[in-house]
Structure 1
Amino acid sequence: MNQTLHEPKYTVKDVSEITGLTKHTIRYYDDQQLIPFVSRDGRNNRLFSEHDLDWLRMVHCFRISGLPISEVKHYIAMCLQGDETIPERAELVVKQEKELEAKIHEYNLQLMHIKEKKAYYESVLAGQLDDTWNPVNNNPECGEKYDIPEHIKSASKVHA
């Protein structure tokens, strides 16, 4: 085992600069015991090794992909148990991959809708189109014109 990888040498500030994570996030992950081998110096400051950074990257990847803290903890516990948990870990990763792909698909649909709206509003602002997509305009494609309640009318004047 390469001892240099396990040598504690990075402070929370260093790790924040290296990874781009906030100091708060790093401390939170450690407080949640998601980075199993973080050391402390004589003043109780956290010190991270290269090995700890690998754990941190994995944890953050799982969290960003939507895996709950409890599941991340379960994954870490399985890692610490050893190779006999590889099938279960692999299963968890495959499940998370499918969930993330579904989210990406949904985000792509939403992004496409937003891009269509953006292009539409650019055309409206350029004077090339009338605003027919606004449901409150008397557009037969959008149904009847709405009677907007007075409290909503007055609220929209505040934001104008």
Structure 2
Amino acid sequence: MYTVKEVAQLLELTEHTIRYYTDKGLVPSVQRDKNNNRLFDDESINWLTGVKYLKQCGMSVKDIKTYVDLCLEGDATIEERYEIILKQKEIALQRLEEAKRTAEYMEEKAKHYLDIINHVIPDDTNPGKWEKMER
């Protein structure tokens, strides 16, 4: 069994986030000790791992709860859960493409700055040094 602190380190989540997710019912297998402290087994860690990735895809806690509830209903909900996962996969792929575009933009900016540093081109990045525009 793992404590909140141990699970936080294991999954790279904050302790607050883990408590929040358990309070929202996203980890149905979480247990409590005699002092009402949360205890996590491997199944609980599996739930939290799934929640972590769904959240990273931009899924709301409410929608994750719906997904968890569908999982608990069993095999009759497999197709519905599959559709949810397909939608989240598409969102993740869109975010990946946006991240690639952002990284490419930053790479071009870094090259531009290197050209300025190496005196290949003048500094055109500082608005304070731009010529006043005629109006």
How high is the TM-score relative to the length of structure 2? Answer: 0.91
Higher relative contact order (CA 8 A, sep 6+): 2
Q: What's the CA shift for 1:137?
A: 2.4
CA distance in 2, matches of 1:93, 1:35: 18
Other-structure match for 1:151: none
| Residue 145 in structure 1 maps to residue 104 in structure 2 | no
- Separation of aligned partners in 2, 1:125 and 1:119: 10
- Give the distance between the partners of 2:134 and 2:22, measured in 1 at CA: 53
Distance 1:47 1:73, change over 3 A: same
- Secondary structure of 1:145's counterpart equals coil
Percent identical pairs in the alignment equals 36
Q: Choose which of 49, 58, 73 in structure 1 pairs with 2:50.
A: 58
Q: Which residue of 2 aligns with 1:74?
A: 66
2:99 is the alignment partner of 1:111:
no
Distance 1:62-1:146 versus aligned 2 partners, 3 A rule: farther
Alignment coverage as a number of residue pairs? 134
The aligned amino acid for 2:77 is T
Gaps of 5+ in 2: none
Separation in structure 1 between the aligned mates of residue 10 and residue 95 of structure 2, nearest angstrom = 28
1:52-94 Cα deviation digits (max 9, x unpaired): 0000000001001111111101100100001010001000000
Counterpart AA for 2:27: I
Residue equivalent to 1:101: 93
CA deviations over 1:6-29 (Å, ceiling 9, x no partner) = xxx111112122222221111111
**2:66 corresponds to which letter in structure 1?**
H
Deviation per CA, 1:20-49: give whole Å up to 9, x if none: 222111111111111012111110100111
Distance 1:124 1:146, change over 3 A: farther
What is the distance in 2 between the residues matched to 1:79 and 1:54?
Answer: 13
| RMSD, aligned CA | 1.9
Q: What is the Cα deviation at residue 145 of structure 1?
A: 2.5
Q: Measure, in 2, the Cα distance between the counterparts of 1:121 and 1:41.
A: 57
- Residues 127 and 79 (structure 1 numbering): CA distance in 2 closer, same or farther, change over 3 Å? same
- Report the 3-state secondary structure (helix = DSSP H, G, I; strand = E; otherwise coil) of the residue aligned with 2:123: coil
Following superposition, the deviation at residue 146 of structure 1 comes to 7.4
